[in-house]
Amino acid sequence: MTIPLPSGLISAHTQGPIGWLVWDNPSKLNALSPGMSEDALAVIEAYAADPAIKVVIMRGSGTRAFISGGDIKSFDKTRANAEVARANRAIPAKLRQSMLDLEKPLIAMIHGYCLGGGMGMALNADLRFASTDAQFSVPAALRGVAYAPSGLQQLVDLVGPSRAKDIMFSGRRLGAEEALAIGLINRIHAPEELEAATVAYAETLARNAPLSIRASKYFIGQLSLPEEKRNETRITAMIDEAENSEDFKEATQSFLEKRKPVFKGK
């Protein structure tokens, strides 16, 4: 798979059924710089359209940082005033929505710094696996920034309103142990073990039934909505699709034959 990535700050590669999205700006600790969101969006859209890709993992280049935040040196151009900032939020907002709408599991593999926009990006993932030396914060209160409600909702959903207020009011950094304890991340591993553990987990997901995973991801997202806003038609259709699928029959047959199922996503 060849994906044009003109910024030179995003890289992508595949590893069997796993698609990798790499924030590749190591000279700035992978800070979010102009052009990165556009290229990341292209990668996510390509993986979404490729049936061979079952799971997506995003990470930062190297082991010092996942994403250290926004590129402050670019703020005079991208956030010169409210109007300019609003215009420059359009592509990142589209990227965020594409990650949330991705019908495949998205895992954030986090080494080192995961700050500001980096933590916001990690919140777009379904799961967050971090190294024991990872650090998390949203320093909006230290930068004079009013953090968007959409991102705050994701944070509140994970850690609850009171802990979200602590994180946002103080701008303090949380270590991996505290982040795990409050539900901000799912797992922690020693830095040298993180990648292998994340890949092993992704491979486990890739062997499971794609229609079931797709349905679970969509249904869990729908549960956060009021009942009147849920897409009951699509929910019913996805349940029916799974029950009528070859994969459902394969799961039953493999159980009877005492072998591992081979799912095809249909």
CATH topology of domain 10-206: 2-enoyl-CoA Hydratase; Chain A, domain 1 (3.90.226)
Residue 234, φ and ψ in degrees, nearest 5: -70, -40
pLDDT tens readout for residues 14-24: 999 999 999 99
Q: Phi/psi class of residue 62: alpha, beta or left (left: φ > 0; alpha: ψ in -120 to 50)?
A: left
User: pTM for the full model?
Assistant: 0.92
Q: Other CB atoms closer than 10 Å to residue 158's CB: what's the count?
A: 17
Q: What is the pLDDT of residue 151?
A: 86
Can you count the helices (H) and strands (E) in the chain? 13, 10
Can you give the residue ranges of every domain in the chain?
A: 10-206, 209-256
pLDDT tens readout for residues 184-243: 999 999 999 999 999 999 999 999 999 999 999 999 999 989 999 999 999 999 999 999
Kindly indicate the confidence band of residue 143, based on its pLDDT and cuts at 50, 70 and 90: confident
Whether the predicted pLDDT of 166 surpasses 90? yes
pLDDT tens readout for residues 87-107: 567 889 999 999 999 999 999
Question: Measured between alpha carbons, how far is 66 from 73 in angstroms, rounded to an integer?
Answer: 19
pLDDT tens readout for residues 188-200: 999 999 999 999 9
β-strand partners of 65: 113
Structure-block tokens of residue 24: 């590749």
Residue with token string 């990648």: 195
Q: In 128-160, where does DSSP find H-type helix?
A: 140-143, 149-159
H/E stretch holding 18? strand 18-23
